[in-house]
């Protein structure tokens, strides 16, 4: 399901217009991104929890040459589904 299909499904489920559903979905995406950028967790009951984790620096391999490559540390988004989804 892509974003357009998701917006349409939200509009049908909530019995609202597609324009209003698109605004709501866009707002949810902006708020989720801002919350994660600030380092906070976001828990949506019935769906799961989004959090930011710090990935450590590590050594990888260039698949073409096999030479070791330093992969810098970075932040990544982690999603843990609720028990209702699993």
Give the model confidence (pLDDT) of 20-32 as tens digits.
Answer: 999 999 999 999 9
pLDDT of residue 84: 84
Q: Are residues 49 and 85 in the same domain?
A: yes
Q: Residue 71: phi, psi to the nearest 5?
A: -105, 115
Pair 53, 71 in one domain: yes
Domain that holds residue 15: 1-40
Mean pLDDT of all residues in 40-46: 94
CATH code of the domain containing 67: 4.10.520.10
| Residues 25, 8: Cα–Cα separation, whole Å | 10
Q: For the residues 6-13, what does the mean pLDDT come to?
A: 96
């Amino acid at each position: 399901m892509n974003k357009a299909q998701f917006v349409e499904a939200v509009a049908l489920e909530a019995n609202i217009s597609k324009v209003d559903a698109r605004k709501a979905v866009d707002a949810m995406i902006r708020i989720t991104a801002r919350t994660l950028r600030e380092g906070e967790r976001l828990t949506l009951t019935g769906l799961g929890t989004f959090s930011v984790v710090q990935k450590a620096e590590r050594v990888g391999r260039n698949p073409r040459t096999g030479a070791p490559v330093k992969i810098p540390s970075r932040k990544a988004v982690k999603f843990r589904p609720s028990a209702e989804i699993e």
